[in-house]
Amino acid sequence: MLAVAENLVKRGDNVRFVTGSRYADKVAAMGATYLPLPAEADFDDRNLLASFPERAKLKGVAAAAFDIEKVFARPGRSQYDTLIAALDAHPADIVLVDPLFVGAIVMLAHPRSARPAIGMCSVIPLAIDSSDTAPFGMGLQPARLFNRQRNAALAAVNRRLMARAHQLINDVHRDVHGRDMPGTLTDWGRRADAIIQFSVPSFEYPRSDMPANLHFTGPLSTTVSAAPLPDWWSDLDGSRPVVHVTQGTVANFDYDQVIAPTLSALADEDVLIVVATGGRPLDTLPPLPANARAATYLPYDELLPRTSVYVTNGGYGGVQYALRYGVPIVATGGKEDKPEVGARVAWSGVGRRIRTERPSPRALRRNILAVLNDPRYRQASQRIAADMAAASGFAGLAAIVDQLVTARAQADSPLRPAPLGTRSTSA
């Protein structure tokens, strides 16, 4: 979403960004206006365990249900109130949100004549309900046999698991609109004015019921990383394959999940292991073997063209970044959307998936070396890289924004002034 805002600012739009306080400086630096969320909706996503220690023991669908309820559903009313106050103060032409900003779901039920356009920017795998896919969060690929029957049975189970979170959102919806919320949390994008999916169809499951408002733009580019080159950069001289391992910037507090076992797995292999801590100090890392190098941040546009395998706990943004450069992937398990990302890595053929959140060094070694030595994985990743290179990117997003704003302006009667300000975007 920062990349969305940055590109909109660059083209001259007036952008206001509603988000958590940890991003205030980044929003201001790009020239957008920062609008704070109230305290009850302002989480530090880098360490959700500090706010919800009970989350640590949960896995799979239970973890997803917990996150939906505690992290996304409960702040829904305060998010909605923040949006309404911002729009009352300064009307906007369009509101762009991530899929789990519940306040926008509530705002969507207002008549189109009384609200700006709402675009769902899908920064996670496509989450819409479909008879052709298992419920989002289960991390299950389409089945070869009896797929729809399986999905229908799983959907019934999922409705029970998500009932409490759905009820919380529905209570807010009834309080504001006097009626129940139509559909489910994961399916609200079908009612949005547009879904902008930051990937390509070849990395997404085919569905016979794809909505007409869905647009694949490919991943967005933001400012090239300003991370300095570390003093060991010359070691990336091509003499050894480079295996890059990271746990991203959110789930990176427990190195035993991916980084530590990868270091153990490859310590005796003729590869160069490159670790990025996502901002954590280097002295928090376990001891590095002789063939490992580390930095807090690395310039991905310089690193990935030199990378042979990308090892990750499944963050969607990092996976899309690696695929832009045709890098094959080993993805481990985890919470949030990570099971869905890993499932698509395996389904698309761009790499291997290890289902557990804490894989053993032996399992990591076996899968990393398989991806490194089998050209099929890189070939599949390069095919997706070609699709991404041909995708519309920000130009596609901008065209969708302009189309929605123009359609609204044309629909407004000249006898009734439109409740819109100058071209303005809220993210």
Examine the domain organization and report whether 143 and 273 are in the same domain: no
pLDDT at 99: 93
pLDDT at 228: 85
In a domain, 225, yes or no: no
pLDDT at 418: 36
Could you tell me if 196 and 119 are in contact, meaning their C-beta atoms sit under 8 angstroms apart?
yes
CA distance linking residue 336 with residue 67, whole number of Å? 7
Examine the domain organization and report whether 336 and 196 are in the same domain: no
Joined tokens for residue 82: 């923040």
CA distance linking residue 302 with residue 225, whole number of Å? 9
In a domain, 100, yes or no: yes
pLDDT at 333: 83
Examine the domain organization and report whether 65 and 198 are in the same domain: yes
Examine the domain organization and report whether 367 and 241 are in the same domain: yes
pTM, to two decimals: 0.89
**What pairing do the DSSP bridges indicate for beta strands 242-246 and 309-312?**
parallel
In a domain, 226, yes or no: no
Examine the domain organization and report whether 203 and 246 are in the same domain: no
Collapsing DSSP states into helix, strand and coil, what is residue 252? coil
Examine the domain organization and report whether 118 and 41 are in the same domain: yes
Note the pLDDT tens digit of each residue in 403-421.
999 987 776 644 333 333 3
Examine the domain organization and report whether 98 and 186 are in the same domain: yes
pLDDT at 345: 98
In a domain, 60, yes or no: yes
Examine the domain organization and report whether 204 and 266 are in the same domain: no
Beta strands in 198-321 (DSSP E): 214-216, 242-246, 272-276, 292-295, 309-312
pLDDT at 165: 86
pLDDT along the chain (427 residues), means of 10: 94 95 94 93 73 72 76 89 95 95 94 94 95 94 96 93 88 94 91 97 96 95 71 95 87 82 97 92 93 94 96 92 97 86 97 93 97 98 98 96 87 43 51
pLDDT at 427: 65
In a domain, 290, yes or no: yes
Could you tell me if 385 and 325 are in contact, meaning their C-beta atoms sit under 8 angstroms apart?
yes
In a domain, 227, yes or no: no
Examine the domain organization and report whether 14 and 156 are in the same domain: yes
Give the CATH number for residue 291.
Answer: 3.40.50.2000
CA distance linking residue 100 with residue 124, whole number of Å? 10
Could you tell me if 75 and 102 are in contact, meaning their C-beta atoms sit under 8 angstroms apart?
yes
In a domain, 345, yes or no: yes
pLDDT at 425: 59
pLDDT at 192: 96
Considering only CA atoms, which of 46, 45, 125 is closest in space to residue 319? Answer: 125
Q: How many domains does the chain have?
A: 2
Examine the domain organization and report whether 254 and 237 are in the same domain: yes
Examine the domain organization and report whether 139 and 37 are in the same domain: yes
In a domain, 14, yes or no: yes
The residue range of the domain holding 96 is 2-218+392-426
Examine the domain organization and report whether 380 and 258 are in the same domain: yes
